[in-house]
A and B are shown apart, each in its own frame.
Chain A
Amino acid sequence: AQSVAQPEDQVNVAEGNPLTVKCTYSVSGNPYLFWYVQYPNRGLQFLLKYITGDNLVKGSYGFEAEFNKSQTSFHLKKPSALVSDSALYFCAVRAYSGGGADGLTFGKGTHLIIQP
């Protein structure tokens, strides 16, 4: 079974400072990794994904994430936080099953609060 851990319920960062939201995963085989953002009472917005290739993935709104296979981590980062980045962030994983279509397993989510 696959799983995702987001160890922090909440991350507080001052505007303009760099931010990191942590994610570790467990999956059999090669992982597909995703980050999504959710605003109150809204669906999920896709930020970025890692499928293969470069370990550093750049996504929407200036976010990036680094895939670290040895540490089974996929932390989300941004060099300079904006107040508008305040939201709920989900890390998700799907195992590559050679063509099968599997649903995503989500972490519990991390509330990111950017303070002016």
Chain B
Amino acid sequence: GAVVSQHPSRVICKSGTSVKIECRSLDFQATTMFWYRQFPKQSLMLMATSNEGSKATYEQGVEKDKFLINHASLTLSTLTVTSAHPEDSSFYICSALGGTTHNEQFFGPGTRLTVL
């Protein structure tokens, strides 16, 4: 149980285009999902908290107009990188809050974004 999937696993796009990444909780409902970003050989940095049915909460320094988050249902959150640039190339990982005590995050496998 408690499986989180991400799609796509890898995407390459041209500079200026937009890319959508999906995060799904497969066997549980998640009112809260999180989006992290990981640069090569660095730690994960929390970008935003996604709550079903409400606006996402962004961490300081994260541009909400560039990284659009939509949590349309209890099992799906999407991250859209708008007008992508090479510096947006990174490993994006989502997690979903679940479990019986709702204090454990289950992580997706990550999406490797490369912007040319």
Interface residues of A, Cβ cutoff 8 Å to B: 32, 34, 36, 41-46, 49, 51, 90, 94, 101-109
Question: Using a Cβ cutoff of 8 Å, how many contacts connect chains A and B?
Answer: 56
State whether A104 and B93 are in contact (beta carbons under 8 Å apart), knowing that A41-B112, A109-B43 are contacts in the complex.
no
Besides A32-B103, A41-B112, A103-B36, 17 other A-B contacts (C-beta < 8 A): A34-B104, A34-B105, A41-B91, A44-B93, A45-B107, A46-B104, A46-B107, A49-B104, A101-B32, A101-B102, A103-B34, A104-B105, A106-B43, A106-B45, A107-B43, A109-B42, A109-B43
Interface residues of B, Cβ cutoff 8 Å to A: 6, 31-32, 34, 36, 42-46, 49, 51, 59, 91, 93, 95, 97, 101-110, 112
Q: Which residue of B lies closest to A96 (CB)?
A: B103
What would 13 A/B residue contacts be, using CB atoms closer than 8 Å?
Answer: A41-B112, A43-B107, A49-B103, A49-B104, A94-B103, A101-B31, A101-B49, A102-B49, A103-B34, A103-B46, A104-B46, A104-B105, A106-B44
List chain B residues, Cβ under 8 A from A36. Answer: 107
Cα separation A70 to B110 with both chains bound (whole Å)? 36
List chain B residues, Cβ under 8 A from A32. Answer: 103
CB <8 Å contact, A43 and B102: no
Q: Which residue of B lies closest to A109 (CB)?
A: B43
CB <8 Å contact, B43 and A108: yes
Which 6 A-B residue pairings sit nearest by Cβ, starting from the closest?
A103-B46, A43-B109, A44-B107, A101-B32, A43-B110, A108-B43
